[in-house]
Structure 1
Amino acid sequence: VLRHPILSLRVVAGDGPLYPLLILFGLNAVDELDQAAFNILLPNIRDHFGFDYQSLFSFLGVVSAAALALSVPIAYMADRHPRVRLAMVGALAWSVCSFSTGLATGIVFLGFARSGSAIGKAVNDPTHNSLLADWFPPADRPRVFSFHQAANPVGATLGALSVGLLATSFGWRAPFFVFAFPTLVLVVLAVRLREPVRGAHERRAAGAEAEAVDIEEGPPSYAEAWRMAWKIASLRRMFAAMPFVAVGIGGFASLNVLFLEEVFGLGIRGRAIFGAALAPSSIIGLVIGARIATRLLARGPGLVLRFLALTSVLQGGLYVFYALSPNLGIAFGVAATTTICGAILWPGILAVLSLIAPPRARAMVFSIGSLWILPGLLVLPFVGWIADNWGIRYGMVVMLPVAVIGGLIMSSAGSLVAGDIEDVWRTSA
């Protein structure tokens, strides 16, 4: 990889275009700069605005809910308008809101700024995932989605190191001012991107004639997209698993930082070093997940779901081990393993969703999946209440049943997914 980086990237892209993959990778990475800053500085922000654990996790839940709710109109537009342009507009919006986080003087202002900044993820999920699915054939998608998700640890590492320097020197607001600008460079580079044909790879895989491959179907209404998605049995199971799996993955980032501050007394610099050292674990997970998922996909997509389900259950057990960590060294080892599991899970879920989602409603299906995360956010205030009354260790343990339930539901879709993929390809031809 180090000797021949371009050749290695071409292997990742397979038969698809490399330049768009790199641009989406970059946009995903700069979004992570802002999130890394907020996570590492969460104890400082909590103290500045006077939150306790329950009110803090309630605040985080409301902010996440606002961003997830925006994913539906964004996806509706993504199925009807150029997704490249929409991704660029969203990137500019989250850049402005990230800058505004540093200006926040009250909880309401902070809430609006963080909700707006979360537009980054609200835009990324339906637009980036849909674009990748239309730029790259099904066989390449596990590898491509893993590479795209590798931007998260890259951005998290750079963000953590920068936060440690900026916040200790200039205060907790400084990183948000600085991190708003790299996005502007990538938006300029994204001007060269061209919109791919929706569903061309599925029609080609189904044996459609060459003339029919490039003919797009008209986008469905929201009601029609919902009906199309709900008819697919494995997709219903995946939706049902989303509130458990996604909250388990996302909740660990906030809990981890607060845990380090309360249990081990780490300040900004210590948390930044811990976060920067932890982030590369995601790359390990992405490499492992991509290789295993690609091999299992060749044998049968149901095996991919069962592998992801097992990973979710394992991750739940690791939450308990992390909560019981007697020292920082053991805590880091368990956190690294937990991060590896999370890095395996999410790209794998996205790759499976891209295969069972009807191409003409693919962006909408990704956004519907995001909406199913909303019920899981109700767990966060409960976790905060437990942390306030019994300590952050007990709050962490609550994530065990959440992850296990998500894994069991996801595993139940394993016997259904192969037939559903065949149906999607056949109806797309």
Structure 2
Amino acid sequence: MPSKAGSRYPFAPTTNRGSTRRRNPPVPEDRDRIDDESSLAEDLAEAAAREGLDLQSEQAQELSEAHVQVEVAGGKEVSGLDITKAKIRDYGLRPLAILFILNAVDEFDRSVLAVALEPIREYFEVSDTVVSLLPLAFVFLAGVIGVPAGTWADRWVRKYILAGGAIVWAGAGFMAAAAQNFFQLFASRMLLGAGQGTIGPTHLSLLSDYYPVEIRGRVLGYHRSANPFGQILGAVIGGFIVAILGWRWAFAIAALPGLVFGIYALWLREPKRGESDLDAATSANPILAEFLKEPEEKAKFFASLKVIFKIPTLRSLIIANSSVGFALVGVIFWLPGLFERRYGFTTKQASLVLGILAFATFIGTWYGSPKADRNVGQGFNFMTRYGAKSVMWVTIAWPLAFLIPNPWVTTALMAISAGVASYGIPGLVAVVAASAPPRIRSQAFAAFGLALAVCGAAVAPLIIGVVSDVLQGWNVNSGDSLRLAMLASTVVVVGIGNWFIFRASDTAADDVNRTIADFLNEMTQGKAASVTSSAAEGTS
């Protein structure tokens, strides 16, 4: 198929004649120089001929018709499919549904902690600084487990890892419900982190392999919408449970779905790594698909991290995720406490505010998912820039919200801006999936999630709590001390994150192109080396 500059990118992996070194992958500015008539089969046939391997003419003829076509920034088709016609149900709804539920249950538990924060602080008679250590307990083991979990997910069966993690965090929920002192509650949150540290690496990697790029924005966006959906359940249902039955029952009830669906996840199909990307390249040629089967060699831990941080887009988005997460997660953690202290809200009323904010985020993420797929036609740079402009709403609106004395105007301003920001987030997640090499995609998502966990779930609540206690020591009332600490974090830190997202929008398309080219070159040349090596052994 003829190439069209800016719309299709025919990668034809080749080897240097007379050398085992790999040719550098083509980059966008070289598209017009790529020979449309070159093919994988021609290179394989020549390599086989040099090594004395006789390929049957029928197979060689069929292979010679294969052209590996991969969509990049531009055009309305991806891998030959019209993105407006591709349906998620064509690839199966069960994996997305199960992982959506598990992700929502994870967020439900964390929202219960936010709603129950004041009752827990009063029950154990601790300060803001001490109670803010609970998220730090969670992220300590989430961070310790999360990064190696990415390596495990790149090497082992991922469904077993995610199922085991779900069962562990369910046990942590029951442990929290039975805690008799603050240390026991702290330990239960550490165990919870150990279980939930497996979510990012396994869930997003599996979904990227279950579903092809033309619907990946929707899939990853819908999966991400489970976070605000779980927040809604945690804020509304969890808030009522805390108010009526107490925080212990809330933790126990939140643990049950994770146990049930964690066991059910064992029956999911385990896709091979890069499956959807290979299917897009080989759907019309079964022999080529057989040739590109996944090799036995797996990615090494430190080598994977080195590759990830050498990709400018991934590096920028990981930093942005940590910066934006610092402000957003830290603010969400303390938001019920702010409304209870500053505005005199009850636990039920404060949980309603959290529910409104979560609902707006859910709507934005849900409807932003198909928008991410439509934006593929505008290119990955456009997708990233669109996400940056969406997040900018929070950068501007949330600091203003903390300056407004009316609680419901504050809630409305925060909810609307959160919904708009969430509309662009699925596209950013899709960019991470597209720019991360398939063999280490789990590790890339682990690094992405770890940045959010460390800076958002752990450091931010602690710093906001410490600043609040310091301000109270200067005779600032507890409500205003929280408000000022939140104001400072959103003004400075979200702005930094926003800048890094804009920076990623300059490199996204090129990085996606290079990642796909490297992947297909690695696959074909690894197989070609295996074929010629086997032929040499056979003739010796």
TM-score, structure 1 normalization = 0.91
Residue number in structure 1 paired with 2:440: 361
Secondary structure of the corresponding residue to residue 255 of structure 1: helix
Post-superposition shift, 1:190? 2.1
Whether the 8 Å CA contact 1:281–1:337 is kept in 2: the answer is yes
Superposed displacement of residue 422, structure 1 = 1.1
Shift of 1:144: 0.6
Pick aligned residue for 2:334 from 255, 262, 269: 255
By relative contact order (CA 8 Å, sep 6+), the higher-ranking structure is 1
Are 1:241 and 2:320 counterparts? yes
Quick one: distance in 2 between partners of 1:27 and 1:97?
15
Q: Does 1:304 align with 2:369?
A: no
| Partner residue, 2:105 | 30
Q: How does 1:32-47 map to 2 (within 5 A)?
A: 32-47=107-122
Q: Which of 297, 307, 312 pairs up with 1:218?
A: 297
Distance 1:375 1:165 in 2: 30
The amino acid that maps onto 1:428 is F
- Equivalent of residue 18 in structure 1, options 89, 93, 98: 93
Alignment gaps of 5+ in structure 1: 1-9
Equivalence for 1:200? 275
**Aligned counterpart, 2:184:** 109
Q: Aligned-pair RMSD on alpha carbons? A: 2.3
Identify which of 386, 394, 403 aligns with 2:467: 386
Aligned match of 2:486: 396
* Higher Cα radius of gyration: 2
- 1:426 matches 2:510: no
Could you report, residue by residue, the CA deviation over 1:80-114 in whole angstroms, capped at 9, with x for unpaired residues? 11111111110000000011111222232222211
What's the CA shift string for 1:212-266, capped at 9, x where partnerless? 3442563211111012212312222222222202222312211211211111112
1:147 corresponds, among 193, 208, 222, to 222
User: Contact 2:117–2:337 at 8 Å: present in 1 too?
Assistant: yes
Label 1:228 to 1:255 Cα distance change in 2 as closer, same or farther (>3 A).
same
Q: Cα gap change, 1:16/1:261 in structure 2, threshold over 3 Å: closer, same or farther?
A: same
Cα distance, 1:109–1:12 mapped onto 2, change above 3 Å = farther
Letter in 1 for 2:506: S
The aligned counterpart of 2:418 is 339
Q: State the match for 1:86 in structure 2.
A: 161
CA contact (8 A) 1:286 1:344 kept: yes
| 1:171-190 to 2 correspondences below 5 Å | 171-190=246-265
Other-structure match for 1:75: 150
Q: Is the 8 A contact 1:36 1:159 kept in 2?
A: yes
**1:285 equivalent in alignment to 2:375:** no
> Distance between the aligned counterparts of 1:277 and 1:383, measured in 2?
22
SS of 2:145's partner is: helix
Q: Aligned with 2:91: secondary structure? A: coil
Q: Which amino acid aligns with 1:225?
A: S
In 2, Cα distance between the equivalents of 1:355 and 1:105? 47
Instruction: From 210, 228, 235, give the equivalent of 1:135.
Output: 210
2:464, 2:213 → 1: CA distance? Answer: 39
Counterpart CA distance in 2 for 1:201 and 1:48 is 51
Q: Is the 8 A contact 2:236 2:352 kept in 1?
A: yes
Q: Helix, strand or coil: the match of 1:25?
A: helix
The one-letter amino acid paired with 1:163 is: G
Question: How far did 1:271 drift?
Answer: 2.0
| Counterpart amino acid of residue 483 in structure 2 | R
Query: C-alpha displacement at 1:346, in angstroms?
Result: 4.5
Q: Which amino acid aligns with 2:497?
A: G
State the distance in 2 between where 1:378 and 1:93 align: 24
Q: Equivalent residue for 1:5?
A: none
Moved more, 225-234 or 93-102: 225-234
- Partners of 2:115 and 2:350 within 8 A in 1: yes
User: Which of 183, 200, 214 does residue 125 from structure 1 map onto?
Assistant: 200
Cα distance in 2, alignment partners of residues 307 and 23 from structure 1: 29
Q: Corresponding residue for 1:100?
A: 175
Work out the CA distance in 1 between the residues paired with 2:269 and 2:240. Answer: 38
% identity of equivalent residues: 28
Classify 1:383/1:291 alpha carbon distance in 2 versus 1 (closer, same or farther; 3 Å).
Answer: same
Q: Does structure 1 conserve the Cα–Cα contact (< 8 Å) formed by 2:368 and 2:422?
A: yes
Q: In 2, are the aligned partners of 1:53 and 1:387 still within 8 Å (CA)?
A: yes
CA distance in 2, matches of 1:189, 1:89: 11
Report if the CA contact (8 A) 2:304-2:443 is conserved.
Answer: yes
- My pick for the range that moved more, 171-180 or 149-158, is 149-158
Deviations 1:147-175 (A, max 9, x none): 11222233222333322332222222111
TM-score calculated relative to the size of structure 2: 0.73
Preserved CA contact (<8 Å) 2:393 2:421? no
Q: Deviations over 1:339-366 (max 9, x none)?
A: 3145335533322111111111111111
Residues 66-75 or 415-424, more deviating: 66-75
Bigger shift: 70-79 or 161-170? 161-170
Q: How many residue pairs align between the two structures?
A: 420
- Is residue 51 of structure 1 aligned with residue 126 of structure 2? yes
Whole-Å separation in 2 of the counterparts to 1:60 and 1:283: 23
2:28 is aligned to none
- Contact kept in structure 2, 1:206 and 1:425, CA below 8 Å: no
Structure 2 distance, partners of 1:52, 1:317, is 31
Instruction: Decide whether aligned partners of structure 1 residues 269 and 380 sit closer, same or farther in structure 2, where only a CA change above 3 A counts.
Output: closer
Q: Distance in 2 between matches of 1:154 and 1:89?
A: 23
Match of 1:3 in 2: none
Q: Is the Cα–Cα contact under 8 Å of residues 101 and 114 in structure 1 kept in the other structure?
A: yes
After superposition, give the CA deviation of every residue in 1:292-348 in whole Å (9 maximum; x if it has no partner): 322222111011111222222221222212212322221221231243145335533
Amino acid at match of 2:327: G
